[in-house]
Amino acid sequence: MELLQLIIGGLANGCIYGLVALGFVLIYKASEGVNFAQGDMMMLGAFVVLGLGNSAQMGLPFLVAVPLGIAIMFGVGWGVERVVVRRIFGQPQFALVILTIAMGFVFRFVAGSIWGYTPLVLETPFGGQNLRTGGIVISLADLVTIGVTVVLTIALWAFFAFTKIGLAAQAASQNQMAAYIVGVPVMRVNSLIWGLSGAVATVAGVLYATRGAIDPNIGLLGIKAFAAAVIGGLGSLPGALIGGLIIGVVEPVAGRYAPGELAKMSPYIIMLLVLVTRPGGLFSQIQMKKV
Amino acid sequence: MSLLEVNDLAVHFGGVKAVDGVSFSVDAGEVFAIIGPNGAGKSTIFNLISRIYEPTRGTIRFDGKDITDLKSHDIASLGIARTFQNIELFDHSTVLANLLMGRHTHRSTNFVQDILFLPKVRREERAHRKRVEEVIEFLELEAYRKKMIAGLPYGVRKVVEIGRALAIGPKIILLDEPASGLSVEETQDVAFWIEDMRRDMGLTVLMVEHDMSLVTQVSDRVLAVANGKPLAMGTAQEVQADPHVQAAYLGTPEEDAA
Amino acid sequence: MRVVFKKSYDPDIDLHEHGWSRAKIAVLAGIMIILPFLVGNYYLAEAANTLIWALAGMGLMIAVGHTGQVSLGHAAFLAIGAYTDAALMNAGLPFLLAFPAAGLVAGLFGAVIAIPAVRMSGIYLAIATLAVFVIVEELVILLEPITGGVGGIMAPSITFFGISFDRYGALQNFYWLVLGVVALVTWGYANLMRSPTGRSFLAVRDSEVSARALGINVTKTKALAFGLSSGVTGLAGALMGHYIGFFNYELFSIFISINLLLVVTIGGLGFIQGAFLGAILITGMPQLIAILRDNLNATTGIDLGSVPGLDTMLFSVILILFIIFEPTGLYGRWLKIRTWFEIFPLARRDMFRRQKSYLKTERMK
């Protein structure tokens, strides 16, 4: 029973890792870049919604604050691409890694200056409510988290598989120049994808905030989410979710049966194991270059 | 005596038979050309010889030794050098450094000696440099010695790559489309160099090439392949006159009718 | 433009092509040696700190700048170096043994983890090193009997040949010790880069497939480079431990890894000089910010000291600006300025314009 309880909580946790990992995958799929500020975008998204919705702040109703927050963070993601990322267009991946790490610090500073460094709680309609079935207690927040994540993953997958823009984004990632030549507006697609990942990050942030207090340093969760994305194989949306779930479940279970330090290490040990055995992740897309 | 012997070589990628039962042998001092339409498996044969791909079946023997199970980094020290179809140079180094990298198999110092730069390292450096200067002189690269690869025109890079292969001091050199993308004059230079490599350096040359005028001019024997299978072997004229080869390039009348 | 008339290959093999650049290095070394007599203790300690950072930067430069292996986890090797050195000295070993051992342990550890990591490239390697960092950090806490766990550990005072090199008691000696180590490593690094080993690093960085065709064992080369890189970083970690005196795992946070990356990228990737320029920037910036802040406070009364995280933010903004406007780093900028003067007045405005480039997919490898 206890194990089952742990697993359900872990699944919900894993969904949040998975959602942040989706943000990584989105940008990776579109530009083969990695946005190390994704965790911090999640943090910022949560704070924006908190700023709009909490009664002590702007006091908008939850169902208004969330879409508005998502829209604002879409704008932030879009803006970041337009103002900063676009300028290093064509430079090696490494440049973007360092750039986004630095951007994460800036986001953290911005959030810290506005909302302070003491943990705050987001007011939600389903906070603190629990469902009881048998001997297990499931919080409503966990259920909402799992449901939203599943819907969002399917929607994003469909976006890349079926829409013109999604296909254009994939084309751009595989060969920027060729994509240009066949008429893909590479820059515009990139902006859109960054906006989209900002929006997804906000959803993740809100879900995270329904399950506990937030402070500007929760963005560090991005590292764990990144491990999830890598386990799944960076280019794969379902892979990201599965990676997130694996980490989400292993962590609390390891924490229950092993020393705390080992539990903290577990996501990274799993990731290293995956990388060593399958260097491109579980759903690898790496191919041999033709010479 | 044959220097390189390829026997019933095949490699399958999934269901695609990129090379399927190719056999040939190259004699020492010979210029041997492989021709064929795009996608015939010519470069794949090279990649098999330089051990980048694992063959599905068949053997490769060099100088009487079976090299089929060697690692790709063990090939150069046997005296097999190669160039690449799409130029694989070290872009952020100078021409000189690129050529010196070709001397890697001749180093006998280890990294500790290198870090301390013992007199032995300097002696070897001088020897490497002397050999590289000979290559520079041979290929007339003097003007580019200290230039970065990244800024060089395509034709020069192509020559630098041949130079890097020569710096290895090989017995056989594998040239993957040495004339592709070159002007008529540059192609003529390549033809002269190939002749000189054979005559003055005693090198054996194995090349993949589309330019039939170059192939006719320099090669002793030609192997035509299509769809991974050998079609014909002989002198350039014989191969060009072979009906199978003509069919592979031009299509057969029956196919056109169908 | 200087024309060097060469009568043998030796000027090309030498570290310096001509006497003038040799003289410049000699002057620089001279100034560094007499620095304790020129500045006070505060700035001398800062200079020692800068040198230690430059040492760590050189370590990372071998991996990132010269072999193309991005590491986000080099703080782990700093930690391994610092803990090995401190633990061995606490166990009674002299510094002259503990210090090389620290480099050796860090180097071997780096080489061992590099072997499986060799199959990965680019982003995957970066993230794997990050994972290694997290694991090392937790291991430090777990191995409490050796590392002091959360409580921390003391790096004993250095004494050998009867001379004290204590960081506080004999700062001048400590500074000279650091300077000596840095000078030796720099010399070895420069030697490496003009030898076959260094060339094989560059070959692996630029094209693995043709490196193989030239007979270079890519796996061995990468592991060697990563091992040397972590070894040098381990040495820097040992010195850092002595510089701080008493430390726990928090000294080697992920921010240290990122600061190290800053050192090599802002300094100039692929240049030994870049590690020094980057180190000067990274250790000098907080000082500069503090001075500016005090001035601002004194003249206008605005107190920015109360804004937390401002330093990190400013760092980040500088980094962003560098990546956007000068990806070749400080050293790259210096090369451009020097060229401009050397060929004056022939420099053209668009001489250094970057060629428009398109990202090549790394899914093909």
User: Which chain A residues have a beta carbon less than 8 Å from that of C357?
Assistant: 90-91
What is the residue type of B38? N
Using CA of residue B57, residue B63, residue B67, residue B73, what is the dihedral sign? negative
Chains B, C: CB pairs < 8 Å: 116
User: Which chain B residues have a beta carbon less than 8 Å from that of A290?
Assistant: 43
Domain hosting A87: range is 2-218
**Looking at chain B, which residue has its C-alpha nearest residue C196?**
B104
3-state class of A223 per DSSP? helix
Identify the pLDDT of residue C121: 66
Are B136 and B200 in contact by the 8 Å Cβ rule? The answer is: no
Are A253 and A45 in contact by the 8 Å Cβ rule? The answer is: no
Distance CA C154, CA C87 (A): 9
Are B169 and C214 in contact by the 8 Å Cβ rule? The answer is: no
**Looking at chain C, which residue has its C-alpha nearest residue B126?**
C9
Identify the pLDDT of residue A58: 77
A105 closest CB neighbour out of C120, C312, C359 = C312
Interface with chain A: mutation pick from C359, C360, C362, highest number of A CBs within 10 Å: C359
- A267 within some domain: no
**Which residues is B22 bridged to in the sheet?**
B9
Lowest mean per-residue pLDDT among A33-37, C253-257, C297-301: C297-301
Taking a contact as any Cβ pair under 8 Å apart, which residues of chain A between 261 and 290 contact chain B? 290
Identify the pLDDT of residue B62: 92
3-state class of B170 per DSSP? coil
258 residues of chain B, pLDDT tens digit each: 689 999 999 998 877 888 888 999 999 999 999 998 888 888 899 999 988 888 989 999 999 889 998 988 899 999 999 999 888 898 888 999 999 999 999 988 899 899 999 999 999 999 999 999 999 999 999 999 888 888 888 989 999 999 999 999 999 999 999 998 899 999 999 999 999 999 988 999 999 998 888 999 999 999 999 888 888 899 988 888 888 888 888 776 655 444
Closest CA to A266 of B223, C131, B205: C131
Q: Are residues B196 and B137 in the same domain?
A: no
For chain A, list residues with pLDDT below 70: 1, 90, 92, 127-128, 134, 279-281, 284-291
Distance CA C84, CA C238 (A): 8
Taking a contact as any Cβ pair under 8 Å apart, which residues of chain A between 33 and 92 contact chain C? 34, 84, 87-92
CA distances from C10 to B98, B125, C6, C14, C18 (A): 18, 9, 8, 6, 11
- The CATH number of whichever domain residue B180 belongs to comes to 3.40.50.300
Taking a contact as any Cβ pair under 8 Å apart, which residues of chain B between 63 and 122 contact chain A? 84-86, 88
- C20 within some domain: no
Closest CA to B85 of B16, B150, B182: B182
The Cα of B145 is separated from the nearest Cα of chain A by a number of Å equal to 26
Question: What's the predicted TM-score (pTM) here?
Answer: 0.86
- With residue A253 as reference, give the H or E element that holds it: helix A237-257
Q: Please list, residue by residue across A62-84, b when 16 or more beta carbons sit within 10 angstroms of its beta carbon and e when fewer do.
A: beebbebbbebbbebbbebbbeb
Cβ atoms within 10 Å, residue A153: 21
Are A258 and A33 in contact by the 8 Å Cβ rule? The answer is: no
Write the CB contacts of C346 (distance below 8 Å, at least 6 apart in sequence): none
Q: What is the DSSP string of A167-217?
A: HHHHHHHHBHHHHHHTT--HHHHHHHHHHHHHHHHHHHHHHHHHTS-B-GG
Closest CA to C90 of C139, C145, C138, C45: C145
State whether residue A235 sits within 8 Å of chain C by CB.
yes
A112 closest CB neighbour out of C72, C209, C309 = C309
Q: Are residues B176 and B72 in the same domain?
A: yes
Q: C125 or C350: whose pLDDT is higher?
A: C125
Q: Do the Cβ atoms of C320 and A291 come within 8 Å? A: no
Are A223 and A3 in contact by the 8 Å Cβ rule? The answer is: no
State whether residue B145 sits within 8 Å of chain C by CB.
no
Largest CA distance in chain B: 74
- A280 within some domain: no
User: Which chain C residues have a beta carbon less than 8 Å from that of B105?
Assistant: 214-215
Chains adjacent to B (≥3 CB pairs closer than 8 angstroms): A, C
- C22 within some domain: no
Residues C144-196 pLDDT 10s? 787 877 888 888 888 788 788 888 888 888 999 999 999 999 999 999 999 99
Distance CA C138, CA B256 (A): 71
The Cα of A93 is separated from the nearest Cα of chain B by a number of Å equal to 17
C13 closest CB neighbour out of B84, B89, B122 = B122
Domain boundary among B153, B183, B204: B153
Q: Are residues B192 and B217 in the same domain?
A: yes
- A257 within some domain: no
Q: Are residues B177 and B243 in the same domain?
A: yes
**Which residues is C164 bridged to in the sheet?**
C159
So what's the ipTM on this one?
0.88
Are C54 and C275 in contact by the 8 Å Cβ rule? The answer is: yes
The Cα of C29 is separated from the nearest Cα of chain B by a number of Å equal to 20
- B26 within some domain: yes
The Cα of A291 is separated from the nearest Cα of chain B by a number of Å equal to 6
Using CA of residue C109, residue C110, residue C111, residue C113, what is the dihedral sign? positive
Instruction: State the total domains in chain A.
Output: 1
The Cα of C126 is separated from the nearest Cα of chain B by a number of Å equal to 22
Using CA of residue B244, residue B191, residue B152, residue B175, what is the dihedral sign? positive
Interface with chain A: mutation pick from C123, C147, C311, highest number of A CBs within 10 Å: C123
Q: Do the Cβ atoms of C128 and A265 come within 8 Å? A: no
User: Which chain B residues have a beta carbon less than 8 Å from that of C203?
Assistant: 90, 101, 104
Identify the pLDDT of residue C361: 46
Distance CA C224, CA C229 (A): 8
Provide φ and ψ at C260, rounded to 5°: -65, -40
The Cα of C250 is separated from the nearest Cα of chain A by a number of Å equal to 15
Please provide the size of chain C in residues. 365
Domain hosting C318: range is 37-342
3-state class of B80 per DSSP? strand
**Which residues is B175 bridged to in the sheet?**
B207
- B163 within some domain: no
- A9 within some domain: yes
**Looking at chain A, which residue has its C-alpha nearest residue B45?**
A291
Distance CA C70, CA C134 (A): 16
Interface with chain A: mutation pick from C61, C136, C253, C323, highest number of A CBs within 10 Å: C323
The Cα of C5 is separated from the nearest Cα of chain B by a number of Å equal to 15
Cα C205 to the center of its chain, rounded Å: 19
The Cα of C135 is separated from the nearest Cα of chain A by a number of Å equal to 5
C206 closest CB neighbour out of B75, B92, B125 = B92
State whether residue B52 sits within 8 Å of chain A by CB.
yes
Helical residues (DSSP H) of A32-139, grouped into ranges: 38-53, 62-83, 93-115
- C235 within some domain: yes
Instruction: State the total domains in chain B.
Output: 2
**β-strand pairing of C246-247 with C153-154:** antiparallel
Residues C221-232 pLDDT 10s? 999 999 999 999
Burial tier of C37 (Cβ tally within 10 Å: 0-12, 13-18, 19+): exposed
3-state class of C119 per DSSP? coil
Q: What is the DSSP string of A78-92?
A: HHHHHHTGGGGTTS-
The Cα of A179 is separated from the nearest Cα of chain B by a number of Å equal to 21
Q: Do the Cβ atoms of B92 and C270 come within 8 Å? A: yes
Q: Are residues B192 and B242 in the same domain?
A: yes
Identify the pLDDT of residue C80: 93
Query: In the numeric block, which tokens belong to residue A90?
Result: 């064509």
Cβ atoms within 10 Å, residue A182: 9
Q: Do the Cβ atoms of C199 and B97 come within 8 Å? A: yes
Are A247 and A223 in contact by the 8 Å Cβ rule? The answer is: no
**ω into B55 cis (within 30 of 0):** no
Residues C13-68 pLDDT 10s? 888 777 788 888 889 898 888 888 888 888 899 999 999 999 999 999 999 888 88
Round the CA-based radius of gyration of chain C to a whole number and report it.
22
Lowest mean per-residue pLDDT among A58-62, C242-246, C329-333: C329-333
User: Which chain B residues have a beta carbon less than 8 Å from that of C209?
Assistant: 52, 84, 88
Cβ atoms within 10 Å, residue B227: 15
Closest CA to B173 of B207, B149, B200, B196: B207
- C63 within some domain: yes
Instruction: State the total domains in chain C.
Output: 1
**Looking at chain A, which residue has its C-alpha nearest residue B85?**
A291
Query: In the numeric block, which tokens belong to residue C49?
Result: 């700190």
Are B52 and C212 in contact by the 8 Å Cβ rule? The answer is: yes
pLDDT-derived band at C104 (thresholds 50, 70, 90) equals: very high
The Cα of A238 is separated from the nearest Cα of chain B by a number of Å equal to 25
Residues C336-365 pLDDT 10s? 777 777 776 666 665 555 554 554 444 444
Query: In the numeric block, which tokens belong to residue B214?
Result: 């170059």
The helices-and-strands tally (H runs, E runs) of chain B is 10, 10
- A238 within some domain: no
Q: What is the DSSP string of C298-316?
A: HHH----TTSTTHHHHHHH
Domain hosting B138: range is 91-153
Distance CA B124, CA B108 (A): 8
Helical residues (DSSP H) of chain C, grouped into ranges: 10-13, 19-38, 41-67, 75-90, 95-117, 122-142, 144-147, 171-193, 196-206, 208-213, 218-244, 254-267, 272-300, 310-325, 329-342
User: Which chain C residues have a beta carbon less than 8 Å from that of A174?
Assistant: 361, 363
Cα B47 to the center of its chain, rounded Å: 10
Lowest mean per-residue pLDDT among C184-193, C197-206, C285-294: C285-294
Phi-psi bin for B39: left (phi > 0), alpha (psi -120 to 50), beta? left
Interface with chain B: mutation pick from C3, C187, C199, C207, highest number of B CBs within 10 Å: C199
What is the residue type of B17? K
Provide φ and ψ at C312, rounded to 5°: -60, -40
Are B146 and B132 in contact by the 8 Å Cβ rule? The answer is: no
Q: Are residues B105 and B30 in the same domain?
A: no
Are A241 and C86 in contact by the 8 Å Cβ rule? The answer is: no
3-state class of C349 per DSSP? coil
C214 closest CB neighbour out of B76, B91, B126 = B76
Identify the pLDDT of residue C322: 81
Query: In the numeric block, which tokens belong to residue B237?
Result: 């004229």
- A49 within some domain: yes
- B135 within some domain: yes
- With residue B233 as reference, give the H or E element that holds it: strand B229-234
